[in-house]
A and B are shown apart, each in its own frame.
Chain A
Amino acid sequence: MTAQLEQKAEGARVIGRQPRASKKNGREGDRGTERRFATWWWFTPALLALVLIHYAPSAIGAFFAFTNWKGLGKWQFVGWDNFAAIAEGGPTTTALINTFIIGISFVVLTNVLGLLLALGLNRTVKSRNVIRTLIFAPVVLSSLATSYIWKFIFEQGGPLNEFLGSVGLESLKRTWLGDPSTVLPAIIIVMVWQNVGLVMVMYLAGLATVSPELEEAASLDGASLWQRFNYVVLPAIMPSVVIAMTLMLINGLRVFDQIQALTGGGPYGASETLAVTIYKETFVLGRFGFGAALALVMSLIIIILTVAQRLLLRTSSKG
């Protein structure tokens, strides 16, 4: 993380005329006479927010994971019962599997497609800015709105089935959101549609820093397109790759709005992920204790997978 910040610092452009700054860390040691530029009191509101809105509620929520609180009224301490119920499996196992499937597909698809689009748009394409804007547009929409639009498209009598019928692919018609074999891909399509623009734009920014001279030199040396990409471009955009993949992994594992609006977790749990289950248990069925336990489990999974992905990327970029 610190490495990332340092890179950001170097990248930050400070506007205005300014003498070249020499950041001497040696100065820090001279605490006694250095003028302070800020006081810790200025950090108080942030601290309050961190405690009151992030840490304390999470701790309390985590506590309730060991109870059977129903959201109203009395509750009892039940120890590890909730977690045992989760481990027993059944619907929770399906939710877990779905969370992985959606999360990983989402990361891979958005990054691959986003990178391809960025590579395609990078340099010399005339309508570059227009296309970039158009593909980015869904990112600013509310996920609810996009879900409703796509729900309409996927309807039994909707445009997708209509189109398939009109080109003679009648047999491919489906109840996209009601058929357990197609519901996950359908949801992934909606999620990717909404977010690929964001990834594309991140990669475009990263690609802009790859020096054309380097690429030109490589191609003059006889490097193929793939080699150029692998040895010149990819290493240069590694930081973008790391950020884009981390961000999309976390978002993919946490997705809620789209699934709730498109299927509510159906049919029969085929599209239910941990986030949806947590919502259902906590807010619809009123089992707050169990929901909190699920939330803890989900946090754990996100941490593990994020760290794993980071390690994976670090080793591959060193290789």
Chain B
Amino acid sequence: MFRYTKKTLLREALLILVALIFLLPFYFLINLSLKNGNDALTTSAMQLVTNPTLDAFGQAIRGGRQATLMDGMLNSIIITAGSVLILVAVGSISAYTLSRRTGKLSKAAMGLILVTMVLPAQAAIIPIYVGMRNVGLVGTHAGTIIMYAGALLPISIFLYMGFTNGIARDYEEAAQIDGASRFTVFRKIVFPLLSPATGTVAIFTGLIVWNDFFTGLIFLNGSDAVTLPVVIYNFVGESVSQWNVIFAAIIISMIPILAFFLVAQKQFIQGFTGGVKS
């Protein structure tokens, strides 16, 4: 019944066609970024580039009157890495705590975590901003990391809980009988067991932080710690109508995440669906 029949061939061909059409925007993206300034304006977008050049890329890297693309990338890397580290460390241990300490408090905590998903985020932004301003954290790497980590912690805990709930206590008990402290138990036994979840959390939250635009715009615009999406936004505002340069900038900003994605595909996709297995 599930052999490869003619129908399957048809299905496959159709799907390949769909995928190709689906990817057309990428074709425009790459094609246009390789055209020089003049060609970009005069030739049709569908037309394949005749004199490919890396001019646009050069301009994109150099350009930007304030932070350059490289600055933005560096800041994004620092902020994303920092946030993810905190999210993994705090998220795992918090989820573990909730899993092991059952009872009313635990259920209440779980409820609190879920409700955060529907809180009015846009109304909360300004008080967070004002609060951070009052302690001098706005526009700094540390402040931004704290903010992202705090904001995404509920998601991290939620994703981890799926796994922590399923770990049997036998190993932990054995270790405790052997005299290990609670924290050692967590660190040496539980955390390694959570590595699929860690992969999921790292990828999922890392992606959100890396691509975040709105909060970055409010907290970091004009500061030294400005992240990549905000740099691109400002850049587009300056490079009026120079689509080839804009697309070159976009491609540059996409390289880290796409590379990571292609290498860690399985993990990525597994990560997104990790909590969904029924």
Partner-B contacts on A (CB < 8 A): 1, 5-16, 18-19, 21, 23, 28, 35-40, 42-43, 45-50, 52-58, 60-62, 64-65, 71, 117, 120-121, 123-127, 131-137, 139-146, 148-150, 152-153, 158-159, 162-163, 193, 198, 201-202, 204-206, 209, 212, 215-216, 219, 236-240, 243-244, 250, 254, 256-257, 261, 275, 278-279, 282-283, 288, 291-292, 295-296, 298-299, 302-303, 306
- Contact residues in B for A131 (Cβ distance below 8 Å): 15-16, 19
Interface membership of B149, Cβ < 8 A: yes
Which among B109, B114, B126, B185 has the highest number of chain A CB atoms within 10 Å?
A: B126
- Contact residues in A for B53 (Cβ distance below 8 Å): none
Other than A142-B232, A153-B25, A238-B278, give 9 A-B pairs with Cβ distance below 8 A: A14-B167, A21-B169, A46-B157, A61-B127, A126-B4, A133-B262, A145-B250, A152-B28, A152-B32
A204 to B266, CA, bound (A): 13
Question: Are B169 and A37 within 8 A (Cβ)?
Answer: yes
Task: Give the total of B residues in contact with A, Cβ under 8 Å.
Answer: 110
**Given A162-B45, A201-B273, A243-B276, are A55 and B185 neighbors across the interface (CB < 8 Å)?**
no
- Contact residues in B for A137 (Cβ distance below 8 Å): 23, 26, 258, 261
B159 and chain A: residue at smallest CB distance: A8
Question: Are A21 and B170 within 8 A (Cβ)?
Answer: yes
Question: Are B120 and A12 within 8 A (Cβ)?
Answer: no
Contact of A282 among B119, B126, B278 (CB under 8 A): B126
**Given A18-B171, A125-B15, A126-B12, are A204 and B273 neighbors across the interface (CB < 8 Å)?**
yes
Query: Which residues of B in the span 130-146 have a Cβ within 8 Å of any Cβ on A?
Result: 131
Interface membership of B240, Cβ < 8 A: no
- Contact residues in B for A298 (Cβ distance below 8 Å): 120, 122
A148 to B26, CA, bound (A): 12
- Contact residues in A for B103 (Cβ distance below 8 Å): 28
Interface membership of B186, Cβ < 8 A: yes
A9 to chain B minimum Cβ distance, whole angstroms, is: 4
- Contact residues in B for A135 (Cβ distance below 8 Å): 19, 22
B5 and chain A: residue at smallest CB distance: A124
The 9 closest A-B CB pairs, nearest first, are A21-B168, A61-B123, A8-B162, A53-B150, A12-B166, A295-B123, A11-B277, A205-B273, A142-B211
A46 to B171, CA, bound (A): 26
A201 to chain B minimum Cβ distance, whole angstroms, is: 5
Question: Are B45 and A50 within 8 A (Cβ)?
Answer: no
- Contact residues in B for A117 (Cβ distance below 8 Å): 15, 18
Question: Are A38 and B100 within 8 A (Cβ)?
Answer: yes
Contact of A209 among B46, B126, B278 (CB under 8 A): B278
B237 to chain A minimum Cβ distance, whole angstroms, is: 11
Question: Are B122 and A239 within 8 A (Cβ)?
Answer: no
Question: Are A45 and B94 within 8 A (Cβ)?
Answer: yes
Question: Are B123 and A62 within 8 A (Cβ)?
Answer: yes
Question: Are A136 and B269 within 8 A (Cβ)?
Answer: yes
Question: Are A43 and B127 within 8 A (Cβ)?
Answer: no
A265 to B196, CA, bound (A): 41
Interface membership of B223, Cβ < 8 A: no
Interface membership of B176, Cβ < 8 A: yes
Question: Are B165 and A302 within 8 A (Cβ)?
Answer: no
Contact of A193 among B25, B32, B150, B211 (CB under 8 A): B25
Question: Are B236 and A42 within 8 A (Cβ)?
Answer: no
A163 and chain B: residue at smallest CB distance: B46
Contact of A15 among B11, B29, B193, B272 (CB under 8 A): B193
**Given A11-B278, A39-B182, are A152 and B243 neighbors across the interface (CB < 8 Å)?**
yes
Query: 0/1 per residue, B183-210, Cβ < 8 Å to A?
Result: 0011000000101110000000001001
Which among B149, B165, B193, B277 has the highest number of chain A CB atoms within 10 Å?
A: B277
Question: Are B261 and A306 within 8 A (Cβ)?
Answer: no
Question: Are B211 and A202 within 8 A (Cβ)?
Answer: no
Question: Are A257 and B214 within 8 A (Cβ)?
Answer: yes
Which among A131, A236, A275 has the highest number of chain B CB atoms within 10 Å?
A: A131
- Contact residues in A for B96 (Cβ distance below 8 Å): 37-38, 42
Question: Are B25 and A125 within 8 A (Cβ)?
Answer: no
A132 to B265, CA, bound (A): 10
- Contact residues in B for A127 (Cβ distance below 8 Å): 12, 15-16
- Contact residues in B for A206 (Cβ distance below 8 Å): 273, 276-278
Contact of B272 among A71, A198, A238, A257 (CB under 8 A): A198
**Given A124-B3, A145-B232, are A8 and B253 neighbors across the interface (CB < 8 Å)?**
no
A212 to B3, CA, bound (A): 12
Which among A49, A55, A212 has the highest number of chain B CB atoms within 10 Å?
A: A49
Contact of A159 among B16, B46, B246, B261 (CB under 8 A): B46
Query: 0/1 per residue, B152-163, Cβ < 8 Å to A?
Result: 011001000111
Contact of A149 among B28, B131, B229 (CB under 8 A): B28
Interface membership of B57, Cβ < 8 A: no
**Given A36-B100, A126-B12, A149-B28, are A43 and B94 neighbors across the interface (CB < 8 Å)?**
yes
B105 to chain A minimum Cβ distance, whole angstroms, is: 7
Q: List 7 A-B contacts (CB under 8 A).
A: A14-B167, A49-B150, A54-B150, A117-B15, A145-B254, A146-B25, A292-B123
- Contact residues in B for A296 (Cβ distance below 8 Å): 120, 123
Interface membership of B54, Cβ < 8 A: no
Question: Are B232 and A39 within 8 A (Cβ)?
Answer: no
A278 to B125, CA, bound (A): 12
A145 and chain B: residue at smallest CB distance: B250
A192 to chain B minimum Cβ distance, whole angstroms, is: 11
